[in-house]
Amino acid sequence: MKKHAITLCLLSSLVFLSGCVDLLDVEKSFTFQQIFVVNTDQQTFNDSHLFDLAANVSIIEEYGSMIKEVRIEKVEFWLTAFVGSSEQAFEGGSLSVSNPDGSNTTVIASLGELVLQDLVNNKQTMTLNESGVNMLGDLAAEPPHSFKLNTEGSVNQGPLIFTIVFEFTAKMVANPLN
User: Domain holding 58: CATH number?
Assistant: 2.60.120
Is residue 70, in this structure, part of any structural domain at all?
A: yes
Residue 84 C-alpha from the chain's centroid: 29
Tally of domains within the chain: 1
User: Can you tell me the distance from the alpha carbon of 79 to that of 89, in angstroms, rounded to the nearest whole number?
Assistant: 12
Rounded mean pLDDT, 146-164? 96
In the prediction, which pLDDT does 11 show? 44
Please check whether residue 61 lies inside any domain of the structure: yes
Is residue 19 one of the residues assigned to a domain?
A: no
Q: pLDDT, tens digit, for every residue of 93-126?
A: 999 999 999 999 999 999 989 999 999 999 999 9
Q: What is the pLDDT of residue 170?
A: 97
Q: Is residue 4 a part of any domain in this protein?
A: no
Identify whether 22 is part of a domain: no
Strand 146-155 versus strand 44-52 pairing type: antiparallel
Structural domain includes residue 103: yes
Give pTM, 2 decimals.
0.85
Residue 2 resides in a domain: no
CB atoms within 10 A of CB 80: 13
Q: Does a structural domain hold residue 6?
A: no
Instruction: Give the range of the structural domain holding residue 168, as residue numbers without chain letter.
Output: 27-174
* 16 secondary structure, DSSP code: H
Rounded CA-CA distance 15/12 in Å is 5
Q: Can you tell me the mean pLDDT for 34-57?
A: 96
Q: What pLDDT digit, counting tens, does each position of 117-154 carry?
A: 999 999 999 999 999 999 999 999 999 999 999 999 99
The answer to whether the CB of 70 falls within 8 A of the CB of 51 is no
13 vs 144 pLDDT, higher one: 144
3-state SS class at 160 = strand
- Using CA atoms of 76, 123, 79, 119 in order, give the dihedral in degrees to the nearest 10: 130
